[in-house]
Structures are given as structure tokens and as C-alpha cells.
Amino acid sequence: MIRLIGILIGLGFVIVASWSLGTGVKKYLKDPPKESIEHHFHEAPRDVAFSFDGPFGTYDRQQLQRGFQVFKEVCASCHGLSYVAFRNLEELGYHEEEIKAVADKWQIEVPSIDPKTGEAATRKALPADRFPDPYPNETAARAANNNALPPDLSLITKARHGGPAYLVSLLTGYRNPPADLPEEARPGEGLHYNPYFANLNIAMPPPLTADGQVSYADGTNPTREQMAKDVAAFLTWTAEPRLENRRAAGLATLVFLIFATILAYMAYQNIWHGGASRRVRPTGPLDPENMAKRDAANREAGMEG
């Protein structure tokens, strides 16, 4: 009976799904889906090599410092970094004094309260503060940016497919729109063509406009590609500051687990097949010693088993 009902219900679902399939196929044949403009012109991020690639890669502290410099001098005027504190810069190899100076000289001050009047005020940043947002609120940010909202960059490399490679591609990917780009996909007022951006037109003006925009203290040649790579590395660190701890802990964990698993396998094989070296002595009513005891007791009681 259940089988019969089951077959009927099954036929029901099969018919309804086939109906959907039929309508879908009819529509597909009559009006095959065209590739969207975005899909046609969009480009996947380029291959970019970083020191932290691969399972055992680590951050290059020099590069992170250069990236921080690019962030400070180029990105920070519009983008926040709200999950990172000045004190975290210690992990890039800066000394306490340097960090104090960076916080003290940061262009944007931290919101606070005037201790005398209790009114809203601002004060200089301290190492314990997180990077202050460049705008007091979203409305202010949009008003200053042609109604576009510059995203917070703390997690940007984890929040975009392709991560740092996408960032480098995007930062260096600005170009003139191709000639065959249809009118409706051309950048409008205040937009810029960039094939790495999801809908091809990005509100952010090209941030890295010329080689040498930033002068590096360590003598690295500040080409646009170099600056893009450095800031992408820095923002990978801001998104995943515990990456090196994670990989080191992972290696130790794996060594331990592989060792433990080999031991577990040997124990398993020994218990299942190591009969020659090991005598199984079961307990319970079928245990030969228990059986012998029982038989002896039975004999004593005059009962033959």
C-alpha cells in the first residue's frame, strides 16, 4: 500500500518537474540565453605571486610596511580600517615609539568627549585605538564620494573572490573602455571602466596614478604594480593577522596527528591480526577459565554438565 501511494506521489513530482523542464527547454530553444555584457567583458584576476602563497608562506615584513605606507598615503583618505588597532602595527616590525608617532600624527582624530563641557570633540589617536574612520557616518561618506560608499578595508581581501590578486588586478586595471563596449555599459558620470570590477564600472577613481606616487624608505622602486602588490599584501595581513600562527600550529598539529594515526593503525592491526604475539583472554560465561570453574562446581554438586 505504501509502495502504491509512494509511486503515485513520485509520479506527481516527476510530472511537475518534467513540466518545469519542458517549459525551460522550450524557452531555451526559442530564446537561448545571451551572454551578459558584464560576463563578456569581465576579466578574472591576474596571477600575482606573494610571499604568503602556498601552505607554508609567511608575510614579508618589509612589504607589509611598504603596503602600510601606501595605505596611509593613498587609501586612508577615503577608506577605514576599523578592525585594526595602531598597536597591531607592532606585528609589522614597528617599534613602540614609531607606533606612538604614527597614531599621534594620524590625519583623522578619534571621536571623544570634551572633558570640560561634555560636548562631542575629537582627540589625537593613541596606540590602543583602532584606525579611526575617515568619515563620521555613511551619509557623510556618500556625500563626499559622489554617492558611493568606500568600503572598510580591514577584511577586503577575504571579502572578495580572488583576494589579494583581485586587489592588485583592480588597482592596476583601470583603462579606457574597449571600442566594442555597448553604450549602456559605458561608464557614466563619476564612474571608471575597470574590467576586474563585477559590473565593469567602479566609482573609485584610479588611486595609483603614477609610478613614484609614494617614496619608499627602503629604496624599493615604487612602480604602480609594486605599490598595488604591497598594499594588497598589507590588506591580506589586516584581514588575516593570525595567518602565520595558523600555519605553524597547523604543521605541528599535522605532525602530531599523523604520528598518532600511525600508532592507532598499528594498534588496530595488532588487535585484529597480531594473534601470535597476543593471547586473547575473554571474560564472561564463555571464558574457558570460567567454564572450567563452572564445570568443577557442577561436578562438586553432583551435576554433570
296 scored as a contact of another protein (CB under 8 A): no
Dihedrals phi, psi of 86, to nearest 5 degrees: -55, -40
**What x/- string results for residues 62 through 101 when contact with another protein is judged by CB under 8 A?**
---------------------x----x-------------
Part of the chain binding another protein (CB under 8 A), chosen from 72-80, 110-118, 245-253, 293-301: 245-253
Q: Which is nearer to another protein, 2 or 217 (CB)?
A: 2
Q: Confirm if 108 and 141 have CB atoms less than 8 A apart.
A: no
Q: Which is nearer to another protein, 214 or 232 (CB)?
A: 232
**Spatial distance between the Cα atoms of 7 and 220, rounded to a whole number of angstroms:** 73
116 scored as a contact of another protein (CB under 8 A): no
**Spatial distance between the Cα atoms of 222 and 27, rounded to a whole number of angstroms:** 54
Q: Which residues touch 221 (CB under 8 Å, ≥6 apart)?
A: 211
φ/ψ region of 185 (left if φ > 0, alpha if ψ in -120 to 50, else beta) reads: alpha
**Spatial distance between the Cα atoms of 239 and 260, rounded to a whole number of angstroms:** 33
Candidates 43, 275, 293, 295; binder of another protein (CB under 8 A) is 275
Q: Confirm if 135 and 57 have CB atoms less than 8 A apart.
A: no
Candidates 188, 285, 302, 305; binder of another protein (CB under 8 A) is 285
161 scored as a contact of another protein (CB under 8 A): yes
Q: What is the DSSP letter of 45?
A: P
219 scored as a contact of another protein (CB under 8 A): no
Q: Which stretches of the chain bind another protein, using CB under 8 A?
A: 2-4, 6-7, 9-11, 13-25, 28, 33, 55, 83, 88, 151, 154-155, 158-161, 198, 239, 241-242, 245-247, 249-251, 253-254, 257-258, 260-261, 264-265, 267-268, 271-273, 275, 279-288, 291
